[in-house]
Structure 1
Amino acid sequence: MARRAGVWLWRWRRNPLRRTSDVVEAWLLLVAWVLAVAGGVLAGVLTAGAMHQAAERVRAESHPVPAVVTQEATRGAVRPVGGALGWGTVRWTDANGSAHTGRTRVPVSATPGARVTVWTNGQGTLVPSPASPADIAFQTTLGGLWAGSTTVGVVIGGAKLARTRLDRRRFAQWDEEWARVDTPWGWKTG
C-alpha cells in the first residue's frame, strides 16, 4: 500500500527526473479537484436554493379564484391526467370587487355558465397554476444537479486543457534534449 501511494505522489517528492512542469501539473490537479468538488457542491446548492425561492415566490403570489366560463373552450389542446383542456374565456371578480375577463385553459367539457377555478397574481392577471411542492422539489433537485455537474465539467475540462498544454511543452523539451544527446553520439534517431 505504501508503494502504491508513492507511485501516486511521485510529483511531490524530490526526484532528479522531476521537472518544473511535473510540479505545476501536480498543483494543477490538486487545485482542479478541490475546485471541482467544492465548486460543484456550491453551485448545485446555490442553484437549487435560488430555484426553490423563485418557485415559492410564484406560489405565494398566485391565488385561486372562482370564475365562470363565458365561451366554450376550443378543442384539441392539452390532455392532462384530469381530462382534455382547451382555451376558453372566463369571467372572475378579484378581491377588491373588480370584474375581469380573460382566456385560460379550461376543461373542454365546460359549457358557458360552468364554474371553474383560475389562478391570478397580485394584480388580478391570469397566471398558470403554480407547481406543486413535489414538482418544485423535483425541479430544484434537477437544477442543482445540472449546475453542479456543469461546474465540475468546466473545471475538469479546463484542467485537462492545461495538462494538454503542459504535455506539449514537455514533448518539445524532450525533442530538444534528444537533439542534444544524439549529436555527440554522431547519429540521429529520427
Structure 2
Amino acid sequence: MHEGVSKVTRRAGVRWWRWRRNPLRRTSDVVEAWILLVAWTLAVLGGLVAGLLTAGAVQQSADRVRAQTHAMSAVLAEEPAQGAAARPAGGSLVWGTVRWTDASGVAHTDRTRVPATAAPGTQVTVWTNERGNLTSPPASPADTAFQAVLGGLWAGSATMGLVIGGAKLARNRLDRHRFDQWAEEWARVDTWGRKTG
C-alpha cells in the first residue's frame, strides 16, 4: 500500500516539476508552464463565453424573425401548377397563387408553395413579414434551440482550438529555442574536450 502511494506521489511530482524549484528547471520551463496554464484557462473560459454568446445571438435572431413574421389565412386562387418542373423532388408541395388580406385591409396576391392536392378556394396558411410580403415560416422553438446549441458548440470548439493552437505554436518556439541552447552548450563542451584531449 505504501509503495502505491509513493508511486502516485512521484508521478504527481514529475507532472508538476515546472512549478517547483529544482536545479534542472530553466526559465523556458517556467515560461512554458505559464503558457499552458493561461492557454487552458483561456480555452475553457473563452470557449464557454464564445459558445454562450453565439447561442444567445442565434436565439435572439430567431426570436426577432418570429416577432416580425405573421401567419395569415389565404385562399388558393387557382389550380396549383402540376408537372415535374413545379413539383419539388420528393415533396408534396407545389407552387400556387394565393390571395389574402392583411391586418390593414389591403388585398394581396402572390405565389407560394401549397399542398399538391389543394383545390382552388382551399384555405392555406401563409407567412408575411412586417411589410406584408410573403416569407418563409419562422423556425420552430425546437429547431431554434437545436441551432443555438449547435452554433454555441461550434463557436466554443473553434475558440478552444484557436487558443490551444496558439499555445502549441508558442511551445514549439520554446522548444526550438531550447534545442538551439543545447546545441550551443554541446558545442562548448565539445570544444572544451578537444582542447584538453
138-147 or 112-121: which moved more? Answer: 112-121
Match of 1:27 among 28, 34, 52: 34
Query: Could you tell me whether the CA contact under 8 Å between 2:87 and 2:95 is conserved in 1?
Result: no
Question: What is residue 94 of structure 1 aligned with on the other side?
Answer: 102
Question: What is residue 56 of structure 2 aligned with on the other side?
Answer: 49
2:83 matched to 1:76?
A: no
Question: What is residue 4 of structure 1 aligned with on the other side?
Answer: 11
State the 1:177 CA deviation: 0.6
2:129 matched to 1:121?
A: yes
State the 1:104 CA deviation: 1.6
Alpha-carbon distance between aligned partners in 1 of 2:75 and 2:103, rounded to the nearest angstrom: 16
State the 1:32 CA deviation: 0.2
Alpha-carbon distance between aligned partners in 1 of 2:101 and 2:18, rounded to the nearest angstrom: 74
Alpha-carbon distance between aligned partners in 2 of 1:13 and 1:171, rounded to the nearest angstrom: 22
Query: Could you tell me whether the CA contact under 8 Å between 1:73 and 1:110 is conserved in 2?
Result: no
Matches within 5 A, 1:96-111: 96-111=104-119
Query: Could you tell me whether the CA contact under 8 Å between 2:127 and 2:135 is conserved in 1?
Result: yes
Match of 2:155 among 147, 150, 159: 147
**Alignment size in residue pairs:** 184
Alpha-carbon distance between aligned partners in 1 of 2:89 and 2:51, rounded to the nearest angstrom: 33
Alpha-carbon distance between aligned partners in 1 of 2:148 and 2:93, rounded to the nearest angstrom: 27
CA RMSD of aligned residues (A): 1.6
State the 1:4 CA deviation: 2.1
CA separation of 1:79/1:53 partners in 2, compared to 1, >3 Å: closer, same or farther? farther
Task: Provide TM-score, normalisation by structure 2.
Answer: 0.88
Alpha-carbon distance between aligned partners in 2 of 1:153 and 1:89, rounded to the nearest angstrom: 50
Please state which structure has a larger fraction of its residues in helix: 2
Question: What is residue 68 of structure 2 aligned with on the other side?
Answer: 61
Task: Provide TM-score, normalisation by structure 1.
Answer: 0.91
Alpha-carbon distance between aligned partners in 1 of 2:87 and 2:47, rounded to the nearest angstrom: 43
Query: Could you tell me whether the CA contact under 8 Å between 1:85 and 1:107 is conserved in 2?
Result: yes
Identity value in percent: 67
Q: Which runs of 5+ in 1 are unaligned?
A: none
Question: What is residue 37 of structure 1 aligned with on the other side?
Answer: 44
Alpha-carbon distance between aligned partners in 1 of 2:163 and 2:156, rounded to the nearest angstrom: 11
State the 1:73 CA deviation: 3.7
Alpha-carbon distance between aligned partners in 1 of 2:24 and 2:125, rounded to the nearest angstrom: 76
| 3-state SS of paired residue (2:77) | strand
Q: Which runs of 4+ in 1 moved over 3 A?
A: none
Alpha-carbon distance between aligned partners in 1 of 2:105 and 2:89, rounded to the nearest angstrom: 32
2:96 matched to 1:85?
A: no
| 3-state SS of paired residue (2:103) | coil
